Amino acid sequence: MNFGLHVRVGAGYDETIAYAQRLGCTSLQFFSGNPKTYRVGAIDAPALERFSNGRKAAGIATSAIHTSYLINLASEDPKISNGSLRLLTNDLRVAAAGSVPFVNTHLGSYGKRDRSEGFAQVVAALETALTDIAPGVYLVMENSAGAGQLCGGTMEELGALIRTIGHPQLAVCLDTAHSWAAGYEIDSAEGVDRFFDLVDREIGLDRVVMFHFNDTEIPLGGHKDRHWHIGEGLIGLAGFRAIAGHAGVKGKTAILETPGEEPDDVRNMDRIRSLFA
Ligand SMILES: [Zn+2]
Ligand SMILES: [Zn+2]
């Protein structure tokens, strides 16, 4: 597997790559812009090309853009849903310019309306985003913790999106903390086997290109999105050891979105690497 961290690009791409390299990452994830605004900047093609070359030179095999937290493709407010689509489409272009294979996105919340109506809107938005996606870039839907009317909280719903849209560049990212919060019991070998059987049946393991490895202190099925250090939460070392031993993760990319500063990042990266060694 390729392991990495979500890294801040505040100080520029060179610093980002240097940080990831120092921690022994073979993958990294970043925000392409300010994750809290609907504004999109112009695409800085030369900077992105430098990022692409620098990443490869640093031995970082894969990378991912995480789209803005504001994205809600399921919103009934057209200002929000159109703005979300614009952000997503922009990130797909940034990814193409920077040789970033994965654009990971949350789908959003249906709000008060009927789920089938919201689902149809999400399908339409994803289809639009996929119309001019560049070769080599994947639009990756991240599973949610499933609170309230959040879209993508179940493997069944993600699978339905994959099948309804039927595009080869539409893929899935499974966040372990969100999975646990959504009620999937992945703290033991039996639970992890059951989970991956379900994933394979509903989505197809080949469509899962990426994982977010995060532990969590939220109780099973608690539907809250809170990340914690690897092995120090309720998924625990037993859960991550079982995930590490499962064929479903082989050769794929995993990003840690654990809290804290560099010493925490070092500890979390060391722990995940030792589990997979
Ligand atoms: Zn996310
Ligand atoms: Zn999360």
Report the CATH number that the domain containing residue 179 is assigned in CATH.
3.20.20.150
Instruction: Report the C-alpha gap between 164 and 272 in whole angstroms.
Output: 35
Average pLDDT over residues 237-258: 97
Amino acid, res. 87: L
Kindly give the distance from the C-alpha atom of residue 93 to the centroid of ligand 1, in angstroms, as a whole number. Answer: 19
pTM comes to 0.97
Q: Answer yes or no: is pLDDT of 219 > 90.
A: yes
The two structure tokens encoding residue 25:
């990452």
Instruction: Report the C-alpha gap between 254 and 108 in whole angstroms.
Output: 22
Kindly give the distance from the C-alpha atom of residue 46 to the centroid of ligand 2, in angstroms, as a whole number. Answer: 32
Kindly give the distance from the C-alpha atom of residue 106 to the centroid of ligand 1, in angstroms, as a whole number. Answer: 6
Question: What is the three-class DSSP state of 239?
Answer: helix
Q: Which domain holds residue 98?
A: 2-276
Instruction: Report the C-alpha gap between 233 and 240 in whole angstroms.
Output: 11
pLDDT of residue 37: 84
Kindly give the distance from the C-alpha atom of residue 1 to the centroid of ligand 1, in angstroms, as a whole number. Answer: 19
pLDDT of residue 134: 98
pLDDT digits (tens, 9 = 90+) for 108-160: 999 998 999 999 999 999 999 999 999 999 999 999 999 889 999 999 999 99
Domain count across the chain: 1
Report the mean per-residue pLDDT for the chain. 96
pLDDT of residue 155: 98
Average pLDDT over residues 62-70: 96
Kindly give the distance from the C-alpha atom of residue 84 to the centroid of ligand 1, in angstroms, as a whole number. Answer: 15
Q: Answer yes or no: is pLDDT of 10 > 90.
A: no
Buried b (16+ CB within 10 A) or exposed e, 193-203: eebbeebbebb
